[in-house]
Amino acid sequence: MLAIGSDHAGYELKEKIKKYFEESGIKFTDFGTFSLESCDYPIIAEKVGNSVLNKESEKGILICGAGIGMSIAANKIKDVRAALCYEPELAALARKHNNANVLCMGGRFTDFEKAKEIVNVFLNTAFEGERHQRRIDMIKKLENN
């Protein structure tokens, strides 16, 4: 199960990704927003991040205008590793090296075809572990500062 959410600036891209998921048989929960009406992205980031944290969802996808705000907000949640990705290669590295569990994208800067590639790479790339796990453990220690 995936968690997906957006603010108003990411709404249209989120809706296209949801349709793609439905056509592909990928299960997801939509945490909003549900219109183009202006909303506050930290609320959506918290809902998606908590779904991942509580293991209700395996991974999350967040979309705002640039992707920056969502990634900052989601990374405030313990054990969430949100990665802002504009290219499939970045999504691969985020998964392989950082074990990212939330993908962030910018709806104003990422067209649907590119987003679909990024999402597919993110969902289908495994974490490499080993030396990368050591580094993630170091990041976790920073949460206690």
Which residues are designated catalytic? 64, 97
Amino acid at site 4: I
- Ramachandran region, residue 130 (left: φ > 0; alpha: ψ -120 to 50; beta: rest): left
Amino acid at site 36: L
Q: What is the CA radius of gyration of the chain?
A: 14
How far apart CA 84 and CA 94 sit, in angstroms, is: 9
Amino acid at site 67: G
Beta bridge partners of 83: 103
For residue 136, what is the enclosing H or E element? helix 131-142
